[in-house]
Structure 1
């Protein structure tokens, strides 16, 4: 026993600083292995804590390494699980009240429907709070651009919630391309099985009773007022243009991430699309401009200095690109939720959602080279998707401008999100009608929106079809402008 006590004293003396005969002992020595002093923890507030918000709350909490000091949700029922787990966190319905009253907040997670990402995130950043925001960054191009600029203006640490961006698979994908294994790439395909919620449907009619646990006015936020309907909340909001960003918004930031990182893409210069026609009667096309289509194909072109342009095609609703000759017929491209295909002059690469299962083809020529290629891009520590949160947490602690590069900070995630939202701008322009003789039935074949749109990324403007510019920015309900 005496020997053990002497050993511990010797350890403390070696780990301590002697000043005037007294020892200042580091906190980790007194607290034992794994001890984290309260002053070393982030105070995190979470806005939107049900469904996906529940995983973001737990990711930010990081198994107790950080403090969850406030929870916010417009729906008490959605918040039940989080409130029960974190009884010491103060609960709010209105994020504005939370940010005003809780002065201890260091950082905020935002896991609300897409149409309120902007107002919550901007309010937090303007108060100097670090932010973690689910993908895509916002509902429209203007909001994404302003959020990207605000991260620099207010000097806050940011991360978008496309967790696959921190995966080893995306990094391996990039290393293979940088090593020239598939040659030069000018053709990319990305796809998803989404939507897995209703789209291409008429706007609900009638009025439902608002659930007692829901503050419907707060849920609507900056969107124009409409009566409550379960077609919007708690989940199916993704399919509506006022609230969500459709299949492309849900999965595009996951699927565009590998080619964006590998090829260094920026703003697209042009976009065009085609959509599934919905027939609502004999020779009558259903016209549902408030709902995203059942499936779509979007073509984007990216100019690159000194290199060939890159053409990226997006498919959703179960549509797929043509299988390249290099990929055997028995091999599944991507995974059940979607995939990415990059076509090069020497071969092709594929991966699934979150960069899973990256593969090189033709296998007999490239598999061994790919496996032997050394790691050149630092990996993100942390199990599975947890590393994406941990990376952001550590950067917040290090401080703005002092942290290591993040997988999806707004300077990177912003242009990528704008590309995703640009696809939706094309879709909404495709649905555009100059005349509406009837709000549902359309028997005209004059669709001015069915054209290639030319985009001036710097000035955020469609240059060849001015009607499309109405979709760059939204109208804000009174009381919701920043």
Structure 2
């Protein structure tokens, strides 16, 4: 039996032994039993990307197990995290890291810019490593499909970092929508205050020197060569087509999540750009956009449309159709509205956890459905529990679900890049009405960073 199988079996036996007591956030199985935990019982992590959201993901890993290795393309961020985990070996290239210490780890966290999610995750998954990857799961539709397939083939425990999925309010919202209290849902509206970074701008022409701490080649990863510029790194990468997925990629895996899980919003029939300020120079995403995704019948559910609005206060006021539907309600910079034949479900935050049924007087006495979904105390902890139980279905935002959700989201990006309407064939994974659109379903990888074997 190989080392990976042995560790999986050992971790699963540990979880079974500790099943009598629930995990608290930041608490391991053995700690919940009030006994010392041997090193072999603890999940061994490697963390790829330790700044930004990677900071909290890495801290979570350190709370639930042992961190064997840290990787970041910025040595300043890497050194700061290494101060907290001095036993971890430091790397600036995840490829080298996985080659050198792959046999010493059970799982990886991937908290890089969007364009490196799949190249890093796929490399780890092919080594049999359980994977936690930030949202959106991938940069392209092809990558989302591959990661979903690979997780199933390797029987890996996976989780996407859309942490709202684990909130009690989110899961009770799913149960409420599924109860049918609203009748058939015909339309959904989702809006966001993103982008809060530069978009709709031209490629910079100045070429300042690369900071000593930044490994620019490793940042570029699968993207083709371009000079370093602080308008790309740090943080501002989200608005650039080569690196990010724009406002859609940043927020839709959060904001449409409760609707997607409730109503199986996968494999749409078509996606169309209703209006937009436009992609600039084939380089950066629009300042604002309105995109409509059309779904046919799904598992007996009625056809519906989902309209997405991004741009925040830069989105023209007269184009915000959701405001007319919410007359009399306080409407913030982001939210979600499901419109059914009998009433509406209004979420006032990005995660679906806080919601109200409208009109309020009609639903004042509505009964809360009996729980049908499990509850958890921590999104990261749910993933670690799954690892210890060797249960790929334990995390609710596992890559089977997260991959399908991400495909739905990224088809909006494809429509933006086409600049019109696309008709989708999910089985063939191709656009039916525009062969030129297929190039936007995948990317041309720079040598050394491809997801293809």
Same topology, TM > 0.5: yes
Q: Name the residue aligned to 1:85.
A: 84
Q: Name the residue aligned to 2:385.
A: 394
The answer (yes or no) to whether the contact 1:51–1:78 under 8 Å persists in 2 is: no
Q: Distance in 2 between matches of 1:113 and 1:104?
A: 25
The answer (yes or no) to whether the contact 1:455–1:463 under 8 Å persists in 2 is: yes
Give 2:407's match in structure 1, choosing from 418, 428, 445: 418
Q: Distance in 1 between matches of 2:392 and 2:241?
A: 37
Q: Name the residue aligned to 1:407.
A: 396
Matched, 1:45 2:46: yes
SS of the aligned residue for 1:464 comes to coil
Q: Distance in 1 between matches of 2:182 and 2:389?
A: 38
Q: Distance in 1 between matches of 2:86 and 2:30?
A: 27
RMSD: 2.1
SS of the aligned residue for 2:361 comes to helix
Matched, 1:241 2:241: yes
CA positional deviation for 1:266: 1.7
CA positional deviation for 1:157: 0.9
Aligned residue pairs total 415
The answer (yes or no) to whether the contact 1:361–1:367 under 8 Å persists in 2 is: no
The answer (yes or no) to whether the contact 1:275–1:427 under 8 Å persists in 2 is: no
Q: Name the residue aligned to 1:142.
A: 142
Any idea what the Cα deviations from partners look like across 1:320-345, whole Å, max 9, x if unmatched? 442365x561x324x54x21110011
The answer (yes or no) to whether the contact 1:275–1:293 under 8 Å persists in 2 is: no
Any idea what the Cα deviations from partners look like across 1:130-170, whole Å, max 9, x if unmatched? 00000111111111111111111222111110001111122
Q: Name the residue aligned to 2:175.
A: 175
Q: Distance in 1 between matches of 2:52 and 2:406?
A: 22
Q: Cα–Cα, structure 1 residues 367 and 168, in superposed 2: closer, same or farther, change >3 Å?
A: farther
Give 2:375's match in structure 1, choosing from 379, 395, 402: 379
Give 2:363's match in structure 1, choosing from 343, 363, 366: 366
Any idea what the Cα deviations from partners look like across 1:262-281, whole Å, max 9, x if unmatched? 11222111010144437xxx
Identify the range of structure 1 (199-208 vs 267-276) with the bigger mean alpha-carbon deviation.
267-276
Any idea what the Cα deviations from partners look like across 1:77-122, whole Å, max 9, x if unmatched? 1223211100111111111111111121100000001111111001
Q: Name the residue aligned to 1:195.
A: 195
Any idea what the Cα deviations from partners look like across 1:373-409, whole Å, max 9, x if unmatched? 43332211x2xxxx1100000101111xx35532211
SS of the aligned residue for 2:322 comes to coil
Identify the range of structure 1 (140-149 vs 315-324) with the bigger mean alpha-carbon deviation.
315-324
CA positional deviation for 1:61: 2.1
Matched, 1:469 2:447: no
Q: Name the residue aligned to 1:58.
A: 59
Q: Distance in 1 between matches of 2:136 and 2:277?
A: 26
CA positional deviation for 1:60: 2.0
Any idea what the Cα deviations from partners look like across 1:31-61, whole Å, max 9, x if unmatched? 9825333222100110000011001111222
Q: Distance in 1 between matches of 2:277 and 2:134?
A: 31
Q: Distance in 2 between matches of 1:137 and 1:339?
A: 21
SS of the aligned residue for 1:123 comes to helix
SS of the aligned residue for 1:194 comes to coil
Q: Distance in 2 between matches of 1:425 and 1:28?
A: 46
Q: Name the residue aligned to 2:417.
A: 428
Q: Distance in 2 between matches of 1:222 and 1:155?
A: 26
Q: Name the residue aligned to 1:288.
A: 281
Q: Distance in 2 between matches of 1:324 and 1:36?
A: 57
Structure 2 stretches lacking a partner, 5+ long: 1-16, 18-28
Any idea what the Cα deviations from partners look like across 1:337-368, whole Å, max 9, x if unmatched? x2111001111001121223111111112133
TM-score by length of 2: 0.87
The answer (yes or no) to whether the contact 2:173–2:353 under 8 Å persists in 1 is: no
